Amino acid sequence: MDKEDWCLLLFLLLSHHRLEKLHRTIHISFRGRNVYLCARCTGAYSGILSIFVACFLGFDFPTWLYPPLFSVLPIPAAVDFITQSCKLRESRNTIRVCTGYILGIGEGLFLLMLVRGMFHLIPYALAIFGAYIFSIYVIARKTKFLDSYFD
């Protein structure tokens, strides 16, 4: 791979949006280069980091609270993604970052669960994740909103 291919790959990994959808990213100039970060993923990484910082500082969630949090925390990001993808409204980066942050807290709890060896919760987390994927798939099939992603 030459330098241009690496730049394109890095662009797709960080923004994963086509050029006409760059308004859904956060633009940063770094060393004279333009870097585009997916707004929702930026929020999610911040949420994951927040969970590990909170854990490091001694904050802890009781084990029984993990499954309800896995269930509820992805809802804002899923609703924002679906309503935007179905063209019911156009989301804003502030909303994307905030819903991504809430999603990231859930993802961070999942990673923390793995690090702490709470493997008995994995089936619950996977079932909840599967339910989200299935629900989004059903909505995508009925509304055909993913067709535009693969044009």
Q: Is residue 81 part of a domain?
A: yes
Asked if residue 32 is part of any domain, the answer here is: no
In a domain? residue 77: yes
Burial class (CB in 10 A: 0-12, 13-18, 19+), 100: buried
The total domain count for the chain is 1
Residue range(s) defining the domain that contains residue 75: 40-150
Residue with tokens 């619950």: 124
pLDDT in tens, 103-142: 999 999 999 999 999 999 999 999 999 999 999 889 888 8
Does 98 map to a domain? Answer: yes
pLDDT at residue 12 greater than cutoff 60:
yes
- Inside any domain, residue 29: no
The reply to whether 132 falls in a domain is yes
Q: What is the pLDDT of residue 149?
A: 62
Instruction: State the pLDDT at residue 146.
Output: 73
pLDDT at 3: 76
Query: Which position has the higher pLDDT, 9 or 131?
Result: 131
118 located within any domain: yes
Residue 26: inside a domain: no
